[in-house]
Chains A and B, each alone.
Chain A
Amino acid sequence: AQTVTQSQPEMSVQEAETVTLSCTYDTSESDYYLFWYKQPPSRQMILVIRQEAYKQQNATENRFSVNFQKAAKSFSLKISDSQLGDAAMYFCAYRSSDFGNEKLTFGTGTRLTIIP
């Protein structure tokens, strides 16, 4: 079974600075998908960024980028120019590419605080 580990329960960053959230995962599969989801105080889950394991290029979405290290099974999220609206819980998630096993497995989350 796949597992996802987020070792930072809480992080804080000054507004306009850069912060990196860590995520590692364990799998024996060679092809899979990785996601970062954001959960603000409203508790609505919002997709931040996604990565397909077969792609070597790191995904980017505006101020959000990932550092995907397949051999190390690491998938960290970098938030640049942090804004007050970035304050939320961030969850890393794994999904198999196996058509019979397309469930999302989540880490325990990192609570990000933005300091004005």
Chain B
Amino acid sequence: DGGITQSPKYLFRKEGQNVTLSCEQNLNHDAMYWYRQDPGQGLRLIYYSQIVNDFQKGDIAEGYSVSREKKESFPLTVTSAQKNPTAFYLCASSPFRTGKATEAFFGQGTRLTVV
């Protein structure tokens, strides 16, 4: 089945540690996105990538880093510089430059908790 997979579903991090969230898609989509979801704030864009080896900062990129070495994969690293990392993280992918209202497909999310 085609889809987008995030792992792990739950993740616990000690303060001061970096942690990497995985996102893989087999939909052959060019564009991939990372969003952070907090209560009452909707989904806020962290980073997005529209092509391999290229990515752009979103609205809240500070304390996060990404890579896009393969079309299928877009891992997100939450660094120790992120002061409030406890949140729900969503990865998405979509076709690129279609000229249509093509939908973005979302993974099932990763709940990150700092302990």
Size bin of chain B's contact surface: 20 to 34
- Taking the closest CB of chain B, its distance from the CB of A64, in whole angstroms, is 14
A75 on the B face (CB < 8 A): no
- Most chain B beta carbons < 10 A, residue from A43, A50, A52, A107: A43
How far is B100's CA from A51's CA once the two chains are assembled, in angstroms? 10
- B103 and A50 contacting across the interface, CB-CB below 8 Å: yes
Would you call B108 and A104 a contact (CB within 8 A)?
no
Which residue on chain B has the smallest CB distance to residue A42?
B108
Contacts A108-B41, A108-B42, A109-B42 given: A103-B33 contact, CB under 8 Å?
yes
Interface residues on A, range: 20 to 34
A-side contacts of B74, CB under 8 Å: none
Known contacts A34-B101, A52-B100, A104-B33; 7 additional CB pairs below 8 A are A6-B42, A35-B103, A50-B103, A102-B96, A107-B42, A108-B42, A109-B42
Residues of B with C-beta under 8 A to A34: 101
Q: Mark B29-44, 1 if CB is under 8 A from A, else 0.
A: 0010101000011111
A44–B99 Cα distance when bound, in Å, is 26
Let me know if B94 is at the binding interface, CB within 8 A.
Answer: yes
Contact of B101 with A44 in the complex, beta carbons under 8 Å: no
Is B101 a contact of A104 with CB atoms below 8 Å? no
Q: Which of A91, A103, A109 is within 8 Å of B45, CB to CB?
A: A103
Question: Interface residues, chain B, CB within 8 Å of chain A?
Answer: 31, 33, 35, 40-45, 48, 50, 58, 88, 90, 92, 94, 96-97, 99-101, 103-104, 106, 108-109
A52–B98 alpha-carbon span in the complex (Å)? 13
- Contacting pair A91 B43 (CB below 8 A): yes
Any B CB within 8 A of the CB of A25:
no
On whether the beta carbons of A99 and B97 are closer than 8 Å, the reply is yes
Asked if A103 and B48 make an inter-chain contact with CB atoms under 8 angstroms apart, the answer reads yes
Decide: A91 near B42, CB < 8 A? Known: A43-B109, A102-B96, A103-B33: yes
- Please determine whether B108 and A44 come into contact, CB atoms closer than 8 angstroms: yes
**In the complex, which residues 61-116 of chain A have their Cβ closer than 8 Å to any Cβ of chain B?**
91, 95, 97, 99-100, 102-109
